[in-house]
Amino acid sequence: MTTTDQMDITADDLVSLVTKYNPKTNETLIRAAYDYGRAMHEGQKRHSGEPYFSHPVAVAAILTEQQLDDATIITALLHDTIEDTKASYMEVAELFGDEVAMLVDGVTKLTNLQLNSTETKQAENFRKLFMAMSKDLRVILVKLSDRLHNMRTIKAMRPEKQAQKARETMDIFAPLAGRMGMQWMREELEDLAFRVLNPEGRASIIRRFINLQRETGDVIQRITGDMRLELDKAGVEADVFGRAKKPYSIWRKMQEKEQTFSRLSDIYGFRILTRSEEDCYRALGAIHQRWRAVPGRFKDYISQPKSNGYRSIHTTVSGRDGKRVEVQIRTSQMHDVAETGVAAHWSYRDGVRSQNPFAVDPAKWITQLSEQFDAEEDHEDFLEAVKLEMYSDQVFCFTPKGEVVKLPRGATPIDFAFAIHTRIGIACVGAKVDHMRVPLWTRLKNGQNVEIITAEGQSPQATWLDIATTGKARSAIRRALRDQDRARFVKLGRELARSAFEHVGRKATDKALATAARHLRFENREDLLARLGSAEITGREVLQAVYPDLTPKPGEKVDAHRAVIGLDAGQSFERAFCCQPLPGERIVGITFRGRGVVVHAIDCDRLSAYEDQLDRWLDLRWHEGSHPAVYGATLDVTLNNDSGTLGRICTLIGETSANISDLQFIDRKPDFYRLLIYVELRDVAHLHSLMLTLEAESDVAEISRYRNMSHGGVETPA
């Protein structure tokens, strides 16, 4: 995709862009819409000071890159008129037709949805989002292009507004674009949001790429040439393209795999476009014959297409010097759908709809997507299902009868069982994968045959919630557990509510709880307590529903001495030095007589010493909000032994607003030395940002977080 984004696009320019792919376009109507939109926005300015109408025109230009129909282009020109000018629905309908008026109205309603609000409100708005999409998917195509142009020009906004829009883009619009098959848009939205949310991390990855290219030369050109040579030998006519992956894609892999940049192998991607489907498989054979295929990294989306029409063969091979490279193989028609996804349904060529055999009927696609969420009973389950569906890739498994079951990547036999039928899932006692008995937590892979073993009288276990990944399975498990343990959860929820209210000097009276239940949209007080006891909502949410001014909000400063929630009134806490838990990490407390509570990270090895003393355990969590940089953490750093290295590293740490409280040298060698650096931080995000900054430095050979499990002491909160 190109990135047409001129600020002075005239009506002639826009008509020219449309006629390139649709010579039969209604030029008169597009010019009329251009003139009407410009007149309606006359005098309005963007944050940058430019005329506001430059934005709708740029959005329309982005949509021409996707070769969309006249109605969508005109909607882009008018998409803010009903919302921000004196224009009315009736006037737009009279001038440009009911179809355009309906689309403009749909975009206006999407603009008014606060998708980044609280979870309950967010779930309702996601429902409205899917309702708008179900009426006409072109509404979301305009909205995505609108968001793309706003992200391209986001620097004119205030920093806090930039952060809000970037987070909303990363959480909602980028995954939605990906779910619709518009990978180019997803990648650009992610990268633009990444630039705002983590500029240091992005710059670090770009610097590493520059260094890598300096050391290895143009790897992409060499591998592309090798692939073309192998395809020519096999008699396969095809085009080969290579590229480095986007900074955000690499950063996400680094987080998921917990690897440094230097240890990532598959940072390059290559695409082979063939003339026919048969040539796709011939090209695959040529590639595998020349390079070694990496086990477990092969996917055939041609024989098993994604629901948005995506078709391609994916494989990863070991290329030059043992470096892994990802290869995608598909035909040109498949590539058109891969680029534009569901939007390919409206694409025009030479004045007529392009008859791409792989384009998905958007009505069927959105109906299938909506049906998955219609069965969800409550807001949280619906929201979880939406996000899981948008974010996840898919695996395809088979029932013993050969029927295909589509599941998100990372799904388990539990998810498979509930995907077949809720009754099967509830009665599940075991599973066989490829005829071999496996644990229920086994991660399923493409092409596996799965058989579910059931038994009468079986009921879901609480541990299944940690095993299941799909919204449908988790929702059904929670409902079953609620029915089994409602009385116990109500009792536990009452105790949690008492503790949360006492923490701010209030009492969890029946009236207060009833008020919270009404505000959080639960049927009654008992339903609220059951959800609280089953950990589906938090005590903080209940407290905030009644006393919003008594709970720290994101961005507010949190007192370090009152940073932990879940303590009894007057109970003090200390941080364990062994694991040095930071705000943002999951924590538990161990009570000590005369000493209060020692707070550990949930994964601290020293907790095993208290496994037989569960009465001393407390379920704790950190207050939300902005914490002061007073929480100690230890970094294990290996540096090159050069003049001035340590001074530069200390300066870098100071520039990230972290404070060094101590240094301890562990090992000295002629060419390097290893030391422990004790730093004071705000939270775990601050730690990750600092480590990413240091990791990008060429003088840093290795860096990791150090935890001393032999240390039994504590560290005070401030």
Which domains, from first to last, does the chain contain? 11-197 (1.10.3210.10), 201-353 (3.30.460.10), 477-550 (no CATH), 560-622 (no CATH), 631-715 (3.30.70.260)
677: confidence class by pLDDT, cuts 50, 70, 90: very high
Which of 357-366, 489-498, 650-659 bottoms out in mean pLDDT, i.e. has the lowest? 357-366
**Helix H or strand E segment including 323:** none
Number of H helices, E strands in the chain: 28, 23
The set of catalytic residues is: 83-84
What is residue 173's DSSP assignment? I
Q: Residue by residue, what is the 3-state secondary structure of 616-679?
A: HEEEEEECCCECCCCEEEEEEEEEECCCCHHHHHHHHHHHCCCEEEEEEEEEECCCEEEEEEEE
Q: Where are the alpha helices (DSSP H) in 118-218?
A: 119-135, 138-152, 159-168, 174-179, 183-197, 199-216
Region 126-137: mean pLDDT is 64
| 16 Cβ contact list (under 8 Å, min separation 6) | none
CA-based nearest residue to 306, from 264, 346, 358: 358
| CA dihedral sign, ordered 80, 82, 86, 88 | positive
The interaxial angle of helices 525-533 and 471-502, nearest 10 deg, is 100
718: confidence class by pLDDT, cuts 50, 70, 90: very low
714 vs 592: CA distance, rounded Å: 12
5: confidence class by pLDDT, cuts 50, 70, 90: very low
Of the two residues 109 and 54, the one the predictor is more confident about is 54
390 vs 186: CA distance, rounded Å: 12
The radius of gyration of the chain's CA atoms, rounded to the nearest angstrom, is 28
Q: What's the Cα-to-Cα distance from 55 to each of 17, 92, 100, 165, 542, rounded to whole Å?
A: 17, 19, 18, 16, 42
The mean pLDDT value of the chain amounts to: 81
Could you please report the per-residue DSSP string of 4-49? ---TT--HHHHHHHHHTT-TT--HHHHHHHHHHHHHHTTT-B-TTS
625: confidence class by pLDDT, cuts 50, 70, 90: confident
Which pLDDT score is estimated for 717?
38
Could you please report the per-residue DSSP string of 675-691? EEEEEEESSHHHHHHHH
Residue 241 has pLDDT above 50, yes or no: yes
595 vs 248: CA distance, rounded Å: 45
Of the two residues 668 and 580, the one the predictor is more confident about is 580
Which pLDDT score is estimated for 632?
93
29: confidence class by pLDDT, cuts 50, 70, 90: very high
> Structure tokens of 598?
């020692």
Residue 592 has pLDDT above 80, yes or no: yes
Q: What's the Cα-to-Cα distance from 533 to each of 384, 515, 537, 539, rounded to whole Å?
A: 19, 18, 8, 9
Which pLDDT score is estimated for 146?
93
Q: What's the Cα-to-Cα distance from 688 to each of 192, 239, 473, 502, 579, rounded to whole Å?
A: 20, 41, 33, 34, 16
Task: Judge contact between 516 and 528, C-beta under 8 A.
Answer: yes
681 vs 660: CA distance, rounded Å: 9
Which pLDDT score is estimated for 261?
54
Task: Compute CA 494 distance to the chain's CA centroid, rounded to the nearest angstrom.
Answer: 34
Which of 39-48, 380-389, 521-530 bottoms out in mean pLDDT, i.e. has the lowest? 380-389
Which pLDDT score is estimated for 515?
87
Residue 560 has pLDDT above 80, yes or no: yes
Of the two residues 403 and 266, the one the predictor is more confident about is 403
Which pLDDT score is estimated for 1?
46
| 251 Cβ contact list (under 8 Å, min separation 6) | 194, 198, 201, 202, 205
Region 311-320: mean pLDDT is 83
Could you please report the per-residue DSSP string of 54-78? HHHHHHHHHHHHTT--HHHHHHHHH
375 vs 382: CA distance, rounded Å: 8
Residue 464 has pLDDT above 80, yes or no: yes
547: confidence class by pLDDT, cuts 50, 70, 90: confident
Residue 551 has pLDDT above 60, yes or no: no
Residue range 248-304, pLDDT digits in tens? 877 776 665 555 555 555 677 899 999 999 999 999 999 999 888 887 778 888 888
Residue 399 has pLDDT above 50, yes or no: yes
Residue range 405-424, pLDDT digits in tens? 878 778 899 999 998 888 89
> Structure tokens of 337?
């759908």
Region 144-152: mean pLDDT is 92
208 vs 205: CA distance, rounded Å: 5
692 vs 120: CA distance, rounded Å: 34
Residue with tokens 């480095």, as numbered in its chain: 244
Q: Which long-range contacts (CB under 8 A, 24 or more apart) does 405-410 make?
A: 405/450, 406/307, 407/444, 407/470, 408/469, 408/470, 410/443, 410/469
Of the two residues 356 and 183, the one the predictor is more confident about is 183
Residue 714 has pLDDT above 60, yes or no: no
**Identity of the amino acid at 359:** A
Task: Judge contact between 376 and 385, C-beta under 8 A.
Answer: yes
Which of 328-332, 407-411, 646-650, 680-684 bottoms out in mean pLDDT, i.e. has the lowest? 407-411
Residue range 155-186, pLDDT digits in tens? 888 888 898 889 888 877 887 887 777 888 88
What percent of the chain lies above the pLDDT cut of 90? Answer: 22
655 vs 564: CA distance, rounded Å: 28
297 vs 303: CA distance, rounded Å: 16
Region 587-616: mean pLDDT is 86
CB atoms within 10 A of CB 538: 17
**Identity of the amino acid at 449:** N
Region 651-669: mean pLDDT is 84
First-to-last C-alpha distance (Å) of the chain: 52
Of the two residues 484 and 68, the one the predictor is more confident about is 68
Task: Judge contact between 388 and 408, C-beta under 8 A.
Answer: yes
